[in-house]
């Protein structure tokens, strides 16, 4: 088995491509060792001590290194764990719990959508799903719609994109421009 790696716009994060399906649907982000207990693989990656984030996408795993950690020393350790996991065909999540199931909320209470905006919200969600998510996944992350209120779209970046120095530019210059072009009701995009 050969696992490819790709850099991401976030210098602290590398994207690992095992050449097979990681998650059949959805994504899952782990931002702490406690959260990683739901996944033996994520837990093993955090146990390396130099990992601060793990993100499972459809066909990739993004791993974020702690500040000051050089990928030259961490990358072989991560590759070894990933190879062992995929060669053994080990489960991605711990059996017997619902901890591996993650259903992101459509919107937090702070970003409650107005039913009068249903058509606009549907257009926004469709553009995010078809145009934005694939591009963000290429960079080792994901984007989650959190809400729309008074012309402002609230989005949450995950994986490599959540701590990326260029995530603000991505939100403002890329996503905001796209949404404003296709949905005139959108006046701004903000991180949630």
Is it the case that residue 141 has pLDDT exceeding 90? Answer: no
Please indicate whether residue 26 or residue 167 has the higher confidence score (pLDDT).
26
Is it the case that residue 20 has pLDDT exceeding 60? Answer: yes
**Which value, to the nearest 10 degrees, does the dihedral of the CA atoms of residues 13, 19, 23, 27 take?**
30
Task: Note the pTM of the prediction, 2 decimals.
Answer: 0.69
177-190: per-residue pLDDT in tens? 889 999 999 999 88
Is it the case that residue 3 has pLDDT exceeding 50? Answer: yes
pLDDT at site 67: 93
75-130: per-residue pLDDT in tens? 999 999 999 999 999 989 887 655 545 554 443 445 678 888 999 999 999 999 88
71 by Cβ neighbours in 10 Å (0-12 / 13-18 / 19+) ranks as middle
């Amino acid at each position: 088995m050969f696992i490819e790696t790709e850099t991401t716009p976030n210098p602290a994060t590398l994207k690992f491509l095992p050449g097979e399906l990681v998650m059949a649907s959805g994504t899952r982000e782990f931002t702490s060792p406690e959260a990683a207990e739901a996944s033996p693989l994520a837990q093993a990656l955090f146990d390396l001590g130099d990992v601060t984030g793990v993100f499972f996408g459809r066909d990739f795993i993004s791993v974020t290194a702690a500040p000051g950690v050089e990928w030259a020393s961490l990358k072989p350790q991560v590759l070894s764990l990933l190879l062992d996991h995929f060669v053994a065909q080990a489960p991605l999540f711990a059996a017997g719990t619902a901890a591996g199931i993650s259903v992101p909320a459509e919107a937090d209470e702070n970003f409650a959508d107005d039913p009068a905006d249903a058509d606009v919200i549907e257009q926004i969600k469709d553009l995010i799903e078809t145009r934005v998510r694939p591009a963000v996944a290429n960079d080792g992350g994901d984007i989650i719609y959190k809400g729309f209120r008074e012309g402002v779209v609230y989005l949450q970046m995950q994986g490599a994109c959540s701590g990326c120095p260029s995530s603000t530019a991505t939100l403002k210059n890329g996503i905001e421009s796209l949404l404003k072009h296709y949905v005139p009701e959108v006046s701004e995009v903000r991180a949630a």
